[in-house]
A and B are shown apart, each in its own frame.
Chain A
């Protein structure tokens, strides 16, 4: 049954890059959780290993059928993920003030993670159908805007501004990729500015303005985010050229780093492996993203191309935002580093994305 060409066209390179990132991630996570204060939290490492297993399985399942089925069932996937979000809104578990988890026996999932993929698929379907080279106009953008807005607002309500913002960024990237008509683009940018300025000067209250400014510049909050950022910068900077060595990171060990195994895991890596390690990780991410964009190019089917671009945008944005944040270049938002940060739902999503990329890659002969 299995077409032998699948094997011939199988993208071993992407798989190898995935395993490389997974290995870097697990090593760093091991260090981050073993230094856990007051006691090492090996359980977290084991959990992450299990999640990688589940992720690999999900990735393989993604290979079993052609990604073209996703185009046909895009609405089913999209509708299902919206239902899950609504379910989480009413019956989800609240952790740290945010109702974003669905509990299934021993595992809890964040439906907002799966919503990211659903939005990518539904937008890819729409854009593939109507892409024309002239660019999309305001009128033809109405549908994709609504498609993005529904899960976006549901996730804002949870509230999980990080993930919601990410969905917005992914949608914007995909839309820019399929081209927005020039006048439409300048209209959108212009009206955006025209609305933001009076909002800022007339509608926001002083304390709200302060909050936005603090968000953009965490240094304004020296006891909260600003403190986390300075500790993170010390951790990264103190890694110097070669790092302090595996399990030797002191900032990490002393719990001076916040969320050292989730959002701030990059600083653990940078502290222990130095510039060599951190630069290597950035480089591997870069190669991974180029590889994925190459898959988008080799796919001669608009849906496949746009889908691959959307998925790449997701991974690239998360990597850039996360690393930019811990290095003090960007506001502190809860965005995990793909492959590296601890967290089952995020890992599962990332692995499904790799599966879809592999799927598109190995079926490229079918269009040729």
Chain B
């Protein structure tokens, strides 16, 4: 099987590598792997190809780790870091889904729906693979029980590089166009968490330029996210995403604007449909996380909307209209 001219597909080489490393207790050295495992072995004999083969193996290890395969490197006793003597293995206990993890058909249907939430981008790749792995459990469900999934786009180009930077603990830079401003500014941050709140993706990060935590809107990152080349100065805690979400939610509850809308107008319908909107004598009580973003939304309704309070929002909305007049008058 190891010899012959047959071209071995990548997935077959990776599959054979997983099988070989799962089967070994004490681990295999790199030389043992390259000389015996299907996909490497037939090229091992050619000395000239050896360096390529080793680089291939390095990349394959990364591919497996990305897929959640717990590939371990074990140093030989007394030879720490000697890559020739290092052994590789996949411990069964860490590879295998614990036996007590089983899903009822309802849970399985819900997970299927959860995977469908991601309709594009890196999260859809991840959830597609997760679904494939779920199928190994052989749970049978009737397609009819799966209803509609509300989906979330991750079309913001910044999503993927930010996820990768958080994974690797790296600082990033990007141009950020603040709401209500005309020009983007460059930010250097240590990214901590990505949260989806009020229909938008937010990045929570430690802003190394101002030495404080800040939350950014992904849609307003208007250029490429680039690794800054240094490790993040702050690392996320385990509860970071949940905590950030709670903070945003608390901010949303406590930030209330009073607006008057023209009866029957689009502004009235849209503002009444916002979650949390209540009627009061002075006008509609509207909740928001960020007054600058609310100002953008309100300014778009023109004469159909009037801000009663807070004064800060009132000024922000007026400033937008004044700028439109200046630009076009």
- The answer to whether A and B assemble together is no
Interface residues, chain A, CB within 8 Å of chain B? none
